[in-house]
Amino acid sequence: MALNGATIDRLVLAYAAALAKPSKADLIALHVVEIDWTLPLDASVAGLSEEAQRVLDVAEAHAERLGLHVEPLLLKARDVGAAIVDEAAAQEADVLVLGLPYRTRFGGDFVIGTTVPYVFKNAPCTVWVVREPMPQEGA
């Protein structure tokens, strides 16, 4: 499962856990720190790495409460979508679960971004996308 540190991560973990629990499948929590093209790939990103570690720690704790073990995996990459696809292939994943926050642009058009379409097109396995619910009017 690919986690990004947003509130959608809890739903991603819940769906991945529901898939994994009956067959006692292994879960891998992947978080990708995107490194800007202006920096070397091995650049020190201590602040980002701390936040990334927090994302993985939260996922591990939540999985533990559900009675599951999660292997945390932190990657640095230029492109998040490519890193997710490459890791799914390397891990020989059966299913990839990722979240899609509900976002709109000025004018109200729904925005899907670039990562989800890239993963849909290139993933070597089944892909589940968990979309965050629409915000309630007046909330």
> Which residues are within 8 A (CB) of 111 and not within 5 positions of it... i.e. 6 or more apart?
103, 104, 105
- For residues 104 and 87, give the distance between their C-alpha atoms in angstroms, rounded to a whole number: 29
pLDDT bracket for residue 9 (50, 70, 90): very high
- With beta carbons less than 8 A apart as the criterion, state whether 27 and 17 touch: yes
pLDDT at 136 over 80: no
**For residue 138, pLDDT beyond 60:** no
- What domains appear along the chain, each with residue ranges and CATH number? 2-131 (3.40.50.620)
Q: Which of 78, 83, 113 is nearest to 99 (CA)?
A: 113
Question: Considering the entire predicted model, what is its pTM?
Answer: 0.86
Cα-atom radius of gyration of the chain, to the nearest Å? 15
> What confidence tier does 139 reach under pLDDT thresholds 50, 70, 90?
low
Q: Are 17 and 139 in contact (CB under 8 A)?
A: no
Question: Which tens digits make up the pLDDT trace of 55-102?
Answer: 999 999 988 888 888 999 999 889 999 999 999 999 999 999 999 988
